[in-house]
Amino acid sequence: MSLFDHTIKELEAMLHNKEITVQDLVEESYQRIEEVDGQVHAFLTLDKENALAKAKVLDEHPDATAKLFGIPSGIKDNIMTKGLRTTCASQFLDNFNDPLYDATVVEKLNNEQTIAVGKLNMDEFAMGSSNENSSYDATRNPWNTDYVPGGSSGGSAAAVAAGEVLFSLGSDTGGSIRQPAAFCGVVGMKPTYGRVSRFGLVAFASSLDQVGPITRTVEDNARVLEVIAGADKMDSTSVDLDVPAYTEALTGDVKGLKIAVPKEYLAEGVAPEVRESVLEALKVYESLGATWEEVSIPHSKYAVAAYYLISSSEASANLARFDGVRYGVRSENADNMIDMFKKSRSEGFGPEVKRRIMLGTFALSSGYYDAYYKKAQQVRTLIKNDFDKIFEEYDVIIGPTSPTTAFKVGEKIDDPLTMYADDILTVPVNLAGVPGISIPCGFSPEGLPIGLQIIGKHFDESTVYRTAHAFEQATDYHTKRPQLGGAN
């Protein structure tokens, strides 16, 4: 039996029927990690002893009501896990071995008897689009290890694509779930802002960050979001709305669905194979009874600039707490307190984090606040209004997740502006606060996955999932597997 062969729903049935044990699943997960993670580098920390001990307990006391009973999972390393090292892939938190509490999403998973096998690699403090900004090791794309897996949740996407876990949690500030999901050929959901608690997520940009699931199938993704979504008294930005049974929305029926396709999302800069795959996907929807029309998101051309000003400004404020005093690594070369602050931050943060802190501090500084940060927030409102106007007439917006497929390791790391520009199709979703999912919709001539992005109305993840599931069931892209570490 391989983790690749079954969905979460199928595995749960096998567990309840005692065809397999939780220990079987967890041991297989670690065996797969041992086989392939030397190539992929998806994990930063493993928790094998505790995971196997928990599996044994679950086998002795099975809970038939748990929604994710016994399922091995991975957690992005910026999500707090009690007693389990949490580094944000930064040297600043290299010694943060014993966090005192679980993030709300981790607590919810634990309540449903999920087993976290370890913490997943990422761009440092979630700042990056390739996972090359990890201060430990660059995660590689399971489809071709010469290529990046995307970022910042690169480890989360690669671990699922490589068959190391059934699902993972990532965080998405400007595309950090959807873009690596696209690059790795898996399913990644960025829920509506406020749908999932951010308590215990190490903050990058508080008005943009959102936790979400990465899985192999749309149904698995919907099952995980049902568990982690919901209001939380520990997060004042979480919204007190009932969480729908997302899996019940997966009817396969999209007859009459009205799809908007922004012309800007298929314009110059989008690779021909990506554009062609999206147009072929739209033909699939037509065959299923949906209709589509071209629309415009006129302010999308300002989205990247607005996003990097807002996110960097919020990062500048959020990362001020990392000073070498309260927790984290303290410089041993300081002569006085001020020197200690400077040297701890200089030695602890990597170049991309420093770049964004400086940009954000500049944008918030006296004399520049109105010209940059305030103006970016005004543009954000215009972009949200663009989405609102489209959703008055259409059910979903569809386009590519990324303008290109994965690029080679080292290809763009020295050109941050080009890397930032690659986020042009994902950041508007975060600025508007709406939900978006990436699902596989094709492959490049080099055999690299292509992602289809489906965007929905605020708190209408059900329609997004229904739309994604219909396409998935009509195609076989989700059944393809990277040839990594032998037979999969």
Contact assessment for residue 196 and residue 433, using Cβ atoms and an 8 Å cutoff: no
- For residue 100, the SS3 value is coil
- For residue 439, the SS3 value is strand
Scored b (16 or more CB within 10 A) or e, 436-455 reads bbbbbbbbbeeebbbbbbbb
Choose the catalytic residue: 29, 130, 134, 176.
Answer: 176
- For residue 68, the SS3 value is coil
Cβ burial of 367 (10 Å; 0-12, 13-18, 19+) is exposed
Smallest Cα–Cα separation from 137: which of 323, 355, 350?
Answer: 350
Contact assessment for residue 469 and residue 292, using Cβ atoms and an 8 Å cutoff: no
Choose the catalytic residue: 76, 119, 412, 457.
Answer: 76
Smallest Cα–Cα separation from 359: which of 293, 420, 273, 447?
Answer: 420
Beta-strand relationship, 43-46 and 291-295: unpaired
Write down the number of H helices and E strands in the chain: 15, 11
Residue 203: C-alpha distances to residues 80, 118, 152 (Å):
11, 20, 13
> Among this protein's residues, is 152 annotated catalytic?
yes
Choose the catalytic residue: 73, 135, 152, 313.
Answer: 152
Structure tokens at 386: 């663009």
Q: Cite the beta strand spans of 219-319 per DSSP E.
A: 258-262, 291-295
Per the rule left: phi > 0, alpha: psi between -120 and 50, beta: everything else, 459 is: left
Kindly give, in sequence order, each residue whose CB lies less than 8 Å from that of residue 174, ignoring residues fewer than 6 positions away.
Answer: 208, 307, 311, 423, 426, 427, 430
Smallest Cα–Cα separation from 199: which of 170, 169, 232, 171?
Answer: 232
CA 104 to CA 118: how far, in whole Å?
17
Report the Cα 378 to chain-centroid distance in Å: 26
Residues known to be catalytic: 76, 152, 176
